[in-house]
Amino acid sequence: MSVFAAVDLGASSGRVMVGRVEAGAVSLTAVNRFANEPVRIGATLHTDVLALYRGVLEGLRLAGPVDGIGIDSWAVDYGLLDATGALLGNPVHYRDARTDGVPERVAALIGEDKLYALTGLQKQPFNTIYQLVAAADTPQLEAARRLLLIPDLLAYWLTGEVGAEFTNASTTQLLDLRAGGWAGELMTSLGIRPSLFPPLRAPGTVIGPVREAIGIGTPDVIAVGSHDTASAVVGVPAAGPDFAYISCGTWSLVGVELPAPVLTEASRLANFTNEGGVDGTVRYLRNVMGLWPLQECLREWGSPDLPALLREAAAVPAFHAVVDLDDPVFLPPGDMAGRLTAASGRGAFASPAEVVRCIMDSLALAHRRAVRQAQQLSGRHVDAVHIVGGGARNELLCQLTADACGLPVLAGPVEATALGNVLVQARAAGAIDGGLPALRALLRENQQIVRYDPRGDGAAWRSAERRLEA
C-alpha cells in the first residue's frame, strides 16, 4: 500500500486528506480541516495565506509518514516574492474590488477577441491578468522578483523549488494555450514583467523533497492538477468521453473534457473558458456562481441546520422566484438575501426556505444553460451529467439539475478533488498505471455514486428560462 497526502484548499476552507492506494482500491481519510477566511485590512481584502500554511503543516504532521504530497487550490490568486525569496505581504483576495473597471481598460488596449484567441479564457473580473494590471506601480509589485500562484507558493515553502503548474497557470489569462507557454508579448504590452513568472511544470512532475528543517520527513512534493477543478475532473468517475461535469462547491464549474480548445467567436461571446487539464486535456467550461449565495445566506442567518432548510425548500413551489446567479451583483460578500430579494423582483421572501428554493432553482437553471451551451459550442454530445464536490451531497440541487438538463445526474464522489490529487500522485510514484480512463475506472469501483433521473417534460424549465431572458 502507498500513502499520499492531498492538500486541498477551497474558496472557503482547506483540508489535508490521506489517500491510501493499493491494488484496485483507493480510500481517503481527513486528518485536518481549517477555515479559509479572508481578512480585510483597510479597504483591501486579503487571503490569510500564513494561516493556510499553518493548517497545511498541522495536517501533514497529523498525516504521519507519506510517500508523496500534492497541493491544489482555487485559481488566479498569487503571492509575490522579493529578491531573497521572502513573501511581500499577504496576497490580495480575488473578491477584492481593486479590479473594478480593469477588464474594460485591458479590452481597450488588447481587444477582447484577440485576448480570447490567445488565452482562451472566460472573462472574469478577478483573473490574474486584471489583478496585475490593477496592481501596476504599487511598491509591492515593483519590489517583486517572482510571482507564485497559491499551490506553487506553498510548494515553494515546503521544498524551496519555484515553478508554475500548468493547469493553474492556464487560469491566469496570461498563458498562450495553444503554444503551451507564457504569453510574454501580452504581458509586456500590459506593463507586466515576464520575468516574474517561473518555468511551467506538468501535472505528475516531482517538484522536490520536503526540506528537512520542516520536521515532517522528506517525502516528495508532486505537482498534481493544482487548480482544484483540474483535480476534481480527474476524480469524475465517467465511463466514457460523452459526459458533462459540474464541480460544485462555492463555484460551479460546468463543462466537458476535450482534446483541444474551442476558440471560436461564439465561444467567446458565450463566456466559456478553455483551461488546461491533466494528460493534455482541455477543461472547456463556464464558471457559474455555485453555492456561494447559499453559503453567504447561511452565514448571515447564523448557520442554521442546512438539511432541514433544504427539506423545507423542497416543499416551496418551484420557480416562485428565479434570478440570474451569474450577475456580478452576487459576487461580493454581505447582505446576500437582500440582493436576492432585489434581483427577484418578487417582493420580500416569506421565509429562509423561499430564499433557498430561489437559489436552488436559479442554480439548476444556470447548470442547464451551461450544459446545453457546452454541447452546442464544442460539438461534444453528453449522455449524463456528473456532479462532484460538496454539491453532490445536496439532493435537492442534484434532482433539480437532472430535471433542468433532462439528463441523468450521477452525484459523487464528494471528495473528487482530493481523489484526483491522490491518483495523479500515485501514478507519478508508480503505485498505479494508466491514463484517465483507468484512474476513473478505479473510482467507479470504489466510490459511492447516486443516480438522479430527470422528471417532467422540461416545459416548466423552459418557461423559467424565458423569465430570466425577458
Give the active site residues.
Answer: 228
d(CA 115, CA 318): 40
Instruction: In whole angstroms, give the CA distance from residue 204 to residue 224.
Output: 6
Question: Closest by alpha carbon to 240, among 112, 115, 381?
Answer: 381
Structure-block grid coordinates of residue 139: 511598491
The grid coordinates of residue 346 equal 418578487
| Calpha distance 60→257 (Å, rounded) | 32
User: Could you tell me which residues come within 8 angstroms of residue 392 by beta carbon, excluding any fewer than 6 positions away?
Assistant: 248, 398, 411, 412, 413, 414, 450
* CA-wise closest residue to 386 among 431, 338, 341, 419: 419
**Phi (first) and psi of residue 5, to 5 degrees:** -100, 125
Comparing C-alpha atoms, which of 436, 443, 442 is closest to residue 204?
Answer: 436
Residue type, 278: V
Please list, in sequence order, all residues whose beta carbon lies within 8 angstroms of the beta carbon of residue 139, skipping any fewer than 6 positions away: none
- Give bridge partners of residue 284 from the DSSP assignment: 256, 274
End-to-end CA distance of the chain: 57
Pairing of strands 384-388, 409-411: parallel
With 0-12 / 13-18 / 19 or more C-beta atoms within 10 angstroms meaning exposed / middle / buried, residue 387 is buried
